């Protein structure tokens, strides 16, 4: 008589639970199955998330229909379980959110977990480097790899930065991001664990590739706000998740930056990270290379149209006549069209290109943009157009009111503003011809003055002091609960009701009723955990409570998102 086993399986749909099925032979973790599901026993894809086990059960268990191939590595499943637990999202929803359906058709090579032969050791380094793209450091590191068949993951904050790194790197590599075709994605999944040296350069999604034995991870610009996922059901932080991934693979991780983030600075203080300081002495002389334009003065002189000052428009028009090119940064995509209109009123012969999401959705669009970039006089976009040598012909950088980032009401706003200002000034080291104009309402702010001096240490000391007073991270843990009803008019009523329920249930937590979000689409509640002892238990209690709330009739069609470390 054949032995029978039980195995835990998730169905990659937005479900709350995993299911147990009956197997007639042992099956590897991460294997694709066909299983009966629902009252009609419809055949659906499933993924094993446990080893097969034997256990007496008192309920009927359905049999697996067929066993496919192992698609997810053991390490990947461990990582995804951690993601689910830490970010408080059910595991089936994690899979459903992260992986496109077509990957289940991939026939990957056998995934062998061989961490016993991994001679690397988990080390987390903060590498402070003046470079605009860290290429020298990366090339030196990769050249010094002693392992054969090494597997290296290089994470970048955006797709354009990935292209820059690939173009500059001296070693063969592949790109992984949302612009890849289904075929390219399948090829990377198939070959990622072959017997060859492999370097993957990618954005956030590259974290979830089926590596079974990573050699090292590099995170470029570790302090970039783009590493925080804010759109998907699972609101993960790429940097923090990558550190956990390196622990699972027992490999080195290097967090590269021009200056460390507040979180990383705190981890350095707590000796969780090691510091590798490649800074050179600051010999940058600004001279006349940076202009700060005070909006108030321009408004008084009636030389401001509400978008751009006359001084900026005149400067750009004169540059176009000399065939000189300009980058314009706006903190919000919604302002980009207005900036373009303001420019074209002044000179209709100016060729302007908006670098926005819809222009970067496919590989062909991105490559055409890069190939034809010099046809344009002005590029307008968000942070992805800054500090990138793909645009080295654009030697004037104009920052439009970076302080408006505060409109998003995030405790990290000052850090984000300083990050943009600091990196922009630091970029002047890249080429002597580069100039910067900053249009601002805060020309005398300490944040701007410290950035102009490239003095990040004073900024970090000041920011840590302020966060300690108001008990913001790293001196607490923040959890944001978002209520998103199909009927937007119901958000206030439901959000206020949930807030009252949370206050009654958790009188030991600091809970703030933020109300309707700045974009008007959601209702926000902020939970601050001052005492972070027993954090895991506190999060679990909150998670269980919110699961019960979702079962309430009035929340049936309402999306409740949990955002850890927003």
**Could you count the other beta carbons within 10 Å of the beta carbon of residue 99?**
17
Question: What pLDDT is recorded for position 132?
Answer: 86
pLDDT tens digit sequence for 50-75: 999 988 888 889 999 999 989 999 99
Task: Residues 290-470: name the CATH superfamily.
Answer: P-loop containing nucleotide triphosphate hydrolases (3.40.50.300)
Answer for the pair 119, 251: CB distance below 8 angstroms, yes or no.
no
**How much of the chain, in percent, has pLDDT values that exceed 70?**
97
435 has a pLDDT exceeding 50: yes
Among 451, 327, 349, 294, residue whose Cα is nearest residue 394: 327
Q: How far apart are CA 505 and CA 147, in angstroms?
A: 53
Q: How far apart are CA 563 and CA 467, in angstroms?
A: 20
Confidence band for 348, pLDDT divided at 50, 70 and 90: low
**Could you count the other beta carbons within 10 Å of the beta carbon of residue 239?**
21
Q: How far apart are CA 417 and CA 340, in angstroms?
A: 23
Among 336, 355, 486, residue whose Cα is nearest residue 404: 336
Q: Is the dihedral of CA 509, 510, 516, 518 positive or negative?
A: negative
Containing H/E element for 141?
helix 135-143
Helices 336-346, 310-321: inter-axial angle, 10-degree rounding:
70
> What CATH class has 115-277?
alpha beta
The Cα-based distances of 424 to 286, 429, 447 in angstroms read 12, 10, 13
Beta pairing class for 216-219 and 252-257: parallel
pLDDT tens digit sequence for 311-328: 999 999 999 999 999 999
Is the fold of 115-277 the same as that of 290-470?
A: yes
Question: What pLDDT is recorded for position 118?
Answer: 52
Helices 159-168, 363-371: inter-axial angle, 10-degree rounding:
60
User: What is the distance, to the nearest Å, from the Cα of residue 317 to the centroid of all Cα atoms in its chain?
Assistant: 36
Answer for the pair 92, 14: CB distance below 8 angstroms, yes or no.
yes
> What CATH class has 477-564?
alpha beta
Answer for the pair 32, 99: CB distance below 8 angstroms, yes or no.
no
Question: What pLDDT is recorded for position 110?
Answer: 55
534 has a pLDDT exceeding 90: no
Given phi > 0 = left and psi -120 to 50 = alpha, else beta, which region is 365?
alpha
pLDDT tens digit sequence for 355-392: 988 888 889 999 999 999 999 999 999 999 999 999 99
List the alpha helices (DSSP H) in 348-455.
363-371, 413-426, 446-452
Question: What pLDDT is recorded for position 517?
Answer: 84
**How much of the chain, in percent, has pLDDT values that exceed 90?**
72
**Could you count the other beta carbons within 10 Å of the beta carbon of residue 3?**
10
User: What is the distance, to the nearest Å, from the Cα of residue 235 to the centroid of all Cα atoms in its chain?
Assistant: 9
Task: Take residue 41 and report the two structure tokens written for it.
Answer: 């026993």
550 has a pLDDT exceeding 50: yes
Among 446, 438, 402, residue whose Cα is nearest residue 291: 438
2 has a pLDDT exceeding 80: no
Question: What is the phi/psi pair of residue 39, to 5°?
Answer: -65, -30
Average pLDDT of the residues in 280-306: 89
How many residues comprise the chain? 566
Beta pairing class for 174-176 and 198-202: parallel
Q: How far apart are CA 370 and CA 372, in angstroms?
A: 6
The order of strands in the sheet holding 31-37 is 19-23, 5-10, 42-48, 31-37, 66-70
Question: What pLDDT is recorded for position 40?
Answer: 92
pLDDT tens digit sequence for 447-502: 999 999 999 999 999 999 999 999 999 999 999 999 998 888 889 999 999 999 99
SS (H, E, C) 164-176: HHHHHCCCCCEEE
Cis omega before residue 474 (within 30°)?
yes
Look at 35-49, 146-160, 278-292 and tell me which has the smallest mean pLDDT: 278-292
pTM over 0.75: yes
Question: What pLDDT is recorded for position 353?
Answer: 94
Residue 157 burial (CB < 10 Å; 0-12/13-18/19+)? buried
Q: How far apart are CA 406 and CA 413, in angstroms?
A: 5
Average pLDDT of the residues in 150-169: 96
Average pLDDT of the residues in 279-298: 89
Among 240, 266, 262, 263, residue whose Cα is nearest residue 253: 240
**What is the average pLDDT value for the chain, to the nearest integer?**
91
pLDDT tens digit sequence for 82-131: 999 999 999 999 999 998 888 887 776 555 555 445 556 778 999 999 88
Architecture of domain 5-105: 3-Layer(aba) Sandwich (3.40)
Show me where the domains of the chain are located.
Answer: 5-105, 115-277, 290-470, 477-564
Question: What pLDDT is recorded for position 196?
Answer: 84
261 has a pLDDT exceeding 60: yes
């Amino acid at each position: 008589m054949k032995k029978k086993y039980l195995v835990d399986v998730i169905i990659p749909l937005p479900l709350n639970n995993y299911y147990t099925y009956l197997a007639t032979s042992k099956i590897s973790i991460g294997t694709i199955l066909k299983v009966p599901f629902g009252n009609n026993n419809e055949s659906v894809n499933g993924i094993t998330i446990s080893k097969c086990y034997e256990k007496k059960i008192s309920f009927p268990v359905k049999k697996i229909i067929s066993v496919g191939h192992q698609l997810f590595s053991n390490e990947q499943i461990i990582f995804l379980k951690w993601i689910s637990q830490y970010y408080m999202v059910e595991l089936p929803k994690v899979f459903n959110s992260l992986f496109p359906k077509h990957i289940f058709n991939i026939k990957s090579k056998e995934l062998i977990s061989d961490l016993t032969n991994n001679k690397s050791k988990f080390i987390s380094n903060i590498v402070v480097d003046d470079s605009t793209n860290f290429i020298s450091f990366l090339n030196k590191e990769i050249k010094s790899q002693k392992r054969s068949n090494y597997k290296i993951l290089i994470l970048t904050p955006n797709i354009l930065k990935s292209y820059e790194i690939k173009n500059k790197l001296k070693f063969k590599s592949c790109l992984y991001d949302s612009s890849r075709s289904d075929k390219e994605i399948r090829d990377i999944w198939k070959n990622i664990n072959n017997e060859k040296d492999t370097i993957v350069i990618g954005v956030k999604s590259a974290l979830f590739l089926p590596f079974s034995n990573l050699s090292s991870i590099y995170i470029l610009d570790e302090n970039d706000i783009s590493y925080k996922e804010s759109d998907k059901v699972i609101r993960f932080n790429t940097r923090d998740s990558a550190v956990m991934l390196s622990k699972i693979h027992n490999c080195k991780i290097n967090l590269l930056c021009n200056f460390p983030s507040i979180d990383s600075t705190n981890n350095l203080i707590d000796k969780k990270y090691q510091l590798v300081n490649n800074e050179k002495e600051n010999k940058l002389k600004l001279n006349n290379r940076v202009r700060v334009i005070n909006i108030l003065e321009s408004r008084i002189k009636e030389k401001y149209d509400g978008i751009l000052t006359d001084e900026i428009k005149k400067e750009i028009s004169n540059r176009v006549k000399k065939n000189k090119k300009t980058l314009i940064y706006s903190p919000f995509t919604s302002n980009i069209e207005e900036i373009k209109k303001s420019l074209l009123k002044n000179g209709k012969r100016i060729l302007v290109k908006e670098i926005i999401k819809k222009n970067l959705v496919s590989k062909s669009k991105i490559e055409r943009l890069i190939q034809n970039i010099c046809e344009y006089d002005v590029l307008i976009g968000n942070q992805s157009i800054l500090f990138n040598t793909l645009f080295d012909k654009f030697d004037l950088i104009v920052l439009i009111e970076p302080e408006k980032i505060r409109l998003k009401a995030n405790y990290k706003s000052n850090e984000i503003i300083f990050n943009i200002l600091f990196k922009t000034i630091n970029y002047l080291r890249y080429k002597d011809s580069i100039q910067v104009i900053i249009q601002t309402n805060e020309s005398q702010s300490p944040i701007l003055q410290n950035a102009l001096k490239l003095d990040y240490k004073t900024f970090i000391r000041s920011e840590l002091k302020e966060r300690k007073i108001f008990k913001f991270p790293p001196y607490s843990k923040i959890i944001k609960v978002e209520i998103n009803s199909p009927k937007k008019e119901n958000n206030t009523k439901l959000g206020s009701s949930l807030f009252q329920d949370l206050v009654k249930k958790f009188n030991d937590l600091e809970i703030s009723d933020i109300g309707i979000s700045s974009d008007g689409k959601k209702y926000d509640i902020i939970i601050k955990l001052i005492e972070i002892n027993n954090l895991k238990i506190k999060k679990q209690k909150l998670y269980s409570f919110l699961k019960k709330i979702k079962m309430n009739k009035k929340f049936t069609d309402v999306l409740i998102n949990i955002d850890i470390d927003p």
